[in-house]
A and B are shown apart, each in its own frame.
Chain A
Amino acid sequence: MIPRYSRVAAIDDNEEHLKAIAWGLSQAGFCPVPFHFDDGDLLPAPEAPITGMRIVFTDIHMANGNLANPKMHAGIIIQCLKKIGASGPYALIFWSRFPGEVEQIKRLIEADGPGTGLTPPVVYGSIDKGMVLGADGSGPFDAEKLRKLIGAQMEKFPTLATAAHWEMRAAEAAAKTTDTVFLLTQAQISEQRTKTWESLLAYLAAEAVGPEVAPRNIDAALDSALLPILEDQLSFVGRTSATPIPETHPLRIALSVSPRPQRPDGVSFARLNASYLIDEAGAASPKGEFERGMVIQLPGSFINSGPFIRLFGKERSELIHAEFLLKNKAVTPEQLSQLTLHVVELGPECDHVQGKVSTHRYLLALLVPSALFSLCYSKNYNNLSVIDVGLMAFKEAPQEEFHLLVSTRCYMTLPPSSALGGTCRFRLRRMSIEEVVHHYTTHARRPGVMRFNS
C-alpha cells in the first residue's frame, strides 16, 4: 500500500467535491494537496512543479459547457498534471461522476500527453463520485465509504508503493539528521531551545562553507553542513525496514526469475550509465562552467585559437592524436570530425563548497561515438593517463552512444569568472568525479622509478 502520510494531489473544479476528496484522503491517512480548477487556473497555483507527487486524483469534466468533448477535458487534465509537476512514476486516479468516461480519457491522455511534454501516469484508477456524493453529485457525503474506496485504490499499485516507501525512508534519513543535530541542544528553558538550535545551525553552516559564503546561500550552506550525517543515514536506508514484502508482490516475482532478472529491452546500458554516472539536467546549473564536475564542449572559436595552442601546445588534430588515439590506427578526417573536445571542471571540493576556488582546473576530455571507440586509448590498452568514464547516451537521442574519455595529464586552468563560452553538456555525478580525481591524483603522483630487468 502507498505509505501513510504520503502527499496526494487532488484536482476538481467543484469546491464541494474538492473538499470531499481532500477530507477523504486525510481520513484515509494521506496528506491531501488540493487544487481548485477555477475556469482554467489552478488555485493555489503551484509555484514550481512539485517533485515526488506519486498520486494524483482528478475530476474529468472541469470545464463548463460541453461534457461531450473528451479531447478538451483530457487536454485540461494534461495541463493540470504538467503544472503540478507529475513526472516520473505516478498514479492518476479519476474522481468523477462519469466512470464510463474513464477509459476514453485514459486513452486520450496516453495518446496526447507525451506530445505535450507530459510524463504519462504509470497506472490509473478511478473512484465513482456518485458512490459517495449521490448520483447528481450533491447528495449526502459518505465519508466512510470514500475512505474505504481511497484505501482500496492505494492498495492497487504495489510497485509504486515500494518506490514511495523508499522515498519515505530517504526523507526519514533527512528527518533523523535534523533530529540528531537538534538533540545536541540541551537547553532547558523553552525560550532558549529555538535560539540554541538556531545558533547551532548557524555555526555548522559557517563551519561547512565558511562564514563569508554561508550568508550568501543559507540553504546551500546548511545542505553542506548536514550532508555528512545525512549521507551516513542514507547509507542505512532500507537496512532497518521491517515491512515484509508479500510473495505476490510484483517486484518479488520479477526478482525470482532465474538466473537473474533481465534488463528491460528499452533500457540500454548507455542510458543506465547516463543516469548513474552523469546528470544531464546538471548542465543547467546556475554556476555553469564553474560547477564542479561540469563537462563543457569547447567552443569552435576557441579551438586552434592562440589561447588554445598556448594552453595545450598543439592544434586540435594533433592534440587528439597525441592524447586519445591509438598510434597504429588510421583515422580519416571524417572520423576525426566526429570527435568533440570537451573539458571537465575539477576544482578541489573543499574550495568549491566554500566558494574559494582561486583557479578552475579543467581536464581535457573527448566525447567519442561508440563506433569509433576502437580507435582510442582505454584501460584495455593499459593506458593510465586516459579514463573512460563510460558508455552513455543522451535523452534527446538515446540511440546514439558515446564514450567520454578524460585525460589526466592534459589540463588547463582559468580564474573564476573567466568563462570559455563553451556549452555545458552535463555534470559528472559525485562518484564519477571521485573516480576521475582518484585517477588524476594517482597519475600525478606516479614516481619515475628506474628499474632494471634481466
Chain B
Amino acid sequence: MAKRIPFRVQSHVLKLLGDQLIGHDRLAVFELVKNSYDADARTVTVTLDLLAPVPKISVRDDGIGMSADTIENAWLQVGTDSKRNVQTRKRSPLGRLPLGEKGVGRLAVQKLGDTIRLVTRQEGQPEHAFKISWGALIDSARYLGDGLAVEVVERASPEEFEFESGTLVEITDLHHTDWSRREIRDLYRLVTSLCNPFDDKSSFKVDLDLPGHEAAVADLPTLKDMLASAVWEFNFQIEENGLIKWEYRFNPPKFKSLTPRNQGPVIEKLALIDPDPDDVRPRTNPDPGTGMCEEDEHIFVRPADLEGIGPISGSIYAFHRRDEILKASGAPQQLKKWLEQQTGVRVYRDNIRVFNYGEAGEDWLGLDARRINRPAGKLGAQSVIAQISLDLAKSTDLREKTNREGFDENAAFRRLKRISLSVFDLFQRLHSEDRSAIDRALKGDEDSPPVQAALERLEALGKKHNLVKEVKPVIQAIKAELKSFQDVMVASGLAGMNLALIFHEIVHSVDRIQRRLQAGVDPDEVRKEVEHLRKLMDTFKPLLQRDPARSVPADDLVRRAIGFHADRFARHEVVVSNWTADPEKRHDFSVSVPRGLVVGALSNVIDNAIYWTRFRRERDGSGSAAILVLTSWDEETGGMIAICDNGPGFQLPRDFLGKPFSSTRAGGMGLGLFYCKAVMESIGGSLEVVDASELNEVVDLPAAYDGTAVVFRFQKK
C-alpha cells in the first residue's frame, strides 16, 4: 500500500538560510548593495547610525525603485528566478547585467538585525513600504505556505522619496550596537571596496555615513593615498584571443640613485606558469600518443583557456614594505599598518567586488606559498594591492558560491587562477631588476642579519610553537651546512664565487620562517619554508662537498645529461641532435671533473633549451623545436661542450648570468644558469651564453640553430 505524504518546509528555514548564507555579518550589507546595483542606482549610501534613538543600519539608493508587482513577485519571493531566468536576464538602461541570481541574498540581513523596513518608489509612481520582523514572521506560521504574509503599504504621498526614485532598506533591532572602532573601520574598508575603486569611470558609487563616529575613520588613508605610495604599478588586459597588453611602471621614491622606469605598452602572448600541483587532476582525456593532457602542456594562454572566463584585465600595485622606502615615498605614518588590512588580490566582476577574494588572510592565488619556492619575485600577498576584473556576461563558467566565499572551484576557476598567477609571474620577472636596485640602495643601511643569531631565534620560536620536531633538526643541519660551506669556500679558494647571494637567500628564508612562526601561521606553511631552505642548500651542497674529480669523456657527460630528459623530447616533439655520438662530427676529449656536478649543469641547460624551443615554436605558431649538443677541441684553449637551440635567444643582460633568482622563464626560479656558472668556475672552467650564430667561428653550425648557445669551456690540463 502506498500513501502520498506531503514534503513540508518549516518557516524556520528562513532563519537558517539567513544565518548560514554568508560567513560574515558585514557581507549582508554587500547583498543589499548588489540589489541597488541591479536597480541601476548610481549612488548608494550605507549609514551606520548607532547614536539614533533606535540604532540602525540603512542602505539607500537612487535606483529605479520597485513596483508593487516587483515587491510581491521578486523581493517577497525567496529563490525567485527574476534575475536568474535567461529570458528576463537582460541589461538595464545603464547597461548592467543583474548580479543576483539565486534570489536568497536579502535573507542575509537577518545577520545584522531582526527588523527590516523597506521603502521604495519608482519614478511617477506611489511609494510602497513594508516592514518585516523576522522572528514574528517566522512564528506566524509553522510551515512555509501556511499563510506567511507581509503587509505592503502604498502611499500616494511619498515620505522617503518625495521627488526621486529609489529604495531604502533599514535594519533595526540590531544584534549588536556596541560596534568597536575596529569593526567600524572594517565596515568602512568593506564598503569602500564594494565597487571597483581602481576604475574611475565606474557609474556606481557606494558611500558610508557614520553619524557620530566619523572620527573612527577620519585618519584612514584613501585607496588613492595608498596607491600613490606604491613603488610598482602594472596594468594589463588579456583579450579573448589570449594576447596580453601590459604596461609596467617603476616609481621609486627619491632615495639614493633610484631612477624611475617605464616599459610598455607591450602586446604579446602570455606565457603560463606550470599548473599548481595541487590543482592537477587525473588526466581524463590524455593524448593517446603521449599520455599527456594538452591543458597542462602548452606554454602560452590560448583562446580556449579563456572560454567561460572572458577577457581579464587588472592592475597590480606593489609596495616595498621597508620603512625607509615607505617614508621616502611620502606615505602616511599608518600606511604600513593599514596596508596589512588592504593588501591582497581582489576580484571585480562588472566592477562589483566578488567576495572574499582580497580579504585579509585570503591569499587565493597562493602568492605567499609561491614566494617560498620562487624567491625571485619576493612579493607576498601582503605587498600588493591588486585587482582582477572580469566581464559578467562572458565569465559564465565562473559561478559564485551561495555563501559568498568565492567562485565554485571548477575547471574555469582553476584556469583563472593559473592565468592570474602567470600575470603576477610576468610582473615579478619585470620588477626583479628594479627590486634589486632598491635592495642595493638599501644595502648600505643594513647588514644581513647574522645567520647564527637568526637560527637561535628560530629555534626558540620552534619550541614555542611546538614545531621542535620540524625545526630543530633543520636548524642543526643548516648550522652544520653553513659551517661546511664556509670552510670549503675558504679552503678551496671559492670565496670569490658569488655564493654570498645564496647565503643571503638562506638568511632571508630563515627570516621568513621566523615571521611565520611569530604570526602563528599554519605549521604546514612553516614546513614548506623549511623544505625550500633545505632544497636550496641541497642544490649547492654538492658544489662544495663535491665528489673527487675523475677523467670522463665529454660524450659520456653529454649522453648522461641528455638521458635525464629522454622521455621529454618525444613528448614535447623536440628534436635532439647529439653530435658527440656521431663519429663524423664528434671531437673526442676527456675532462677531469666531478662528473655528477657537470652532468647536473648540462642537464639544467638542456632543460632550459627544451622550454625555450617549445616557447618559440608556440609563440610563432610554426617551425619545429630543435636542440643540438656538440663538442669542440682546441689545442690552445681546451675543450668545450655547447648546447645550441632554436629558441628565442637569451633575453637577460649577459651580466645576469652570475646572478641567482633572475629568470625570464614563466615560473622559473632563476637558479639553473647560476648553478651552471658556479659549477664551471669551481672546476676552473667557464660558462658563456652567446647567440648560437657566434659558434660559427668554431664549428659549421646549421642555420636552423638561430637561438642561444650555452657554452661550457673546460680548462686544458
* Residues of A bordering B, CB below 8 Å: 13, 39-41, 61, 63-72, 75-76, 78-79, 97-98, 100-101, 103-104, 107, 110-116, 130, 134-136, 139
Task: Decide: B567 and A135 in contact? CB cutoff 8 A.
Answer: no
Interface residues in B675-695 (C-beta closer than 8 Å to A)? 675-676, 679
Q: How many angstroms from the CA of A13 to the CA of B541 in the assembled complex?
A: 14
Task: Decide: B600 and A61 in contact? CB cutoff 8 A.
Answer: no
Task: Decide: B607 and A69 in contact? CB cutoff 8 A.
Answer: yes
Task: Decide: A115 and B597 in contact? CB cutoff 8 A.
Answer: no
Q: How many angstroms from the CA of A68 to the CA of B274 in the assembled complex?
A: 12
Task: Decide: B671 and A68 in contact? CB cutoff 8 A.
Answer: yes
* Residues of B bordering A, CB below 8 Å: 274, 277-278, 280, 282-283, 286-287, 289-293, 296, 373, 473-474, 476-477, 480-481, 527-528, 531, 534-536, 538-539, 542, 559-561, 563-568, 570-571, 595-597, 599-601, 603-604, 607, 669, 671-672, 675-676, 679
Q: How many angstroms from the CA of A359 to the CA of B9 in the assembled complex?
A: 85
- The 3 lowest CB-CB distance pairs between A and B, nearest first, are A115-B291, A65-B600, A64-B600
Tell me the minimal C-beta distance from A132 to chain B in angstroms. 12
Q: How many angstroms from the CA of A107 to the CA of B568 in the assembled complex?
A: 16
Q: How many angstroms from the CA of A255 to the CA of B291 in the assembled complex?
A: 33
Task: Decide: B477 and A65 in contact? CB cutoff 8 A.
Answer: no
CB neighbours of A61 from chain B (8 A): 538
Q: How many angstroms from the CA of A68 to the CA of B375 in the assembled complex?
A: 12
B528 contact from A13, A100, A113, A130, Cβ within 8 A: A100
Count of A-B contacts judged by CB separation below 8 Å: 125
Task: Decide: B600 and A114 in contact? CB cutoff 8 A.
Answer: no
Task: Decide: B291 and A98 in contact? CB cutoff 8 A.
Answer: no
A114 contact from B286, B373, B476, B675, Cβ within 8 A: B286
A134 contact from B289, B473, B671, B672, Cβ within 8 A: B473
Task: Decide: A64 and B560 in contact? CB cutoff 8 A.
Answer: no
CB neighbours of B278 from chain A (8 A): 103
* CB pairs A–B below 8 angstroms (27 shown): A39-B560, A40-B563, A63-B600, A63-B603, A65-B542, A65-B601, A65-B603, A66-B603, A66-B604, A67-B536, A67-B538, A68-B373, A70-B277, A71-B568, A72-B564, A72-B607, A97-B538, A103-B278, A111-B296, A112-B292, A115-B290, A116-B291, A116-B567, A116-B571, A135-B534, A136-B480, A139-B473
Task: Decide: A66 and B539 in contact? CB cutoff 8 A.
Answer: yes
Task: Decide: B286 and A41 in contact? CB cutoff 8 A.
Answer: no
Task: Decide: B539 and A67 in contact? CB cutoff 8 A.
Answer: yes
Task: Decide: B277 and A104 in contact? CB cutoff 8 A.
Answer: yes
Tell me the minimal C-beta distance from B468 to chain A in angstroms. 12
Task: Decide: B671 and A66 in contact? CB cutoff 8 A.
Answer: yes
Task: Decide: B560 and A40 in contact? CB cutoff 8 A.
Answer: yes
Task: Decide: B535 and A68 in contact? CB cutoff 8 A.
Answer: yes
Tell me the minimal C-beta distance from B395 to chain A in angstroms. 28
Tell me the minimal C-beta distance from A175 to chain B in angstroms. 39
Q: How many angstroms from the CA of A136 to the CA of B542 in the assembled complex?
A: 13
A40 contact from B287, B474, B559, Cβ within 8 A: B559
Task: Decide: A75 and B568 in contact? CB cutoff 8 A.
Answer: yes
Chain A residue nearest to B276 (CB atoms) is: A104
CB neighbours of B564 from chain A (8 A): 40, 63, 72, 75-76
CB neighbours of B607 from chain A (8 A): 66, 69, 72
Chain B residue nearest to A40 (CB atoms) is: B560
Given A111-B291, A115-B286: A65 in contact with B675 (beta carbons within 8 A): yes
Task: Decide: A130 and B473 in contact? CB cutoff 8 A.
Answer: yes
Chain A residue nearest to B277 (CB atoms) is: A104
Task: Decide: B600 and A66 in contact? CB cutoff 8 A.
Answer: yes
Chain B residue nearest to A120 (CB atoms) is: B291
Given A71-B568, A112-B291, A136-B477: A79 in contact with B563 (beta carbons within 8 A): yes
CB neighbours of B570 from chain A (8 A): 116
A39 contact from B286, B595, B675, Cβ within 8 A: B595
Task: Decide: A64 and B534 in contact? CB cutoff 8 A.
Answer: no
Q: How many angstroms from the CA of A75 to the CA of B599 in the assembled complex?
A: 16
Given A40-B559, A65-B604: A75 in contact with B277 (beta carbons within 8 A): no
Other than the known A40-B599, A68-B671, A100-B531, what 14 A-B pairs have Cβ atoms closer than 8 Å? Answer: A39-B560, A63-B600, A64-B601, A66-B603, A66-B607, A67-B539, A68-B373, A72-B564, A111-B292, A112-B567, A112-B571, A115-B291, A116-B291, A135-B476
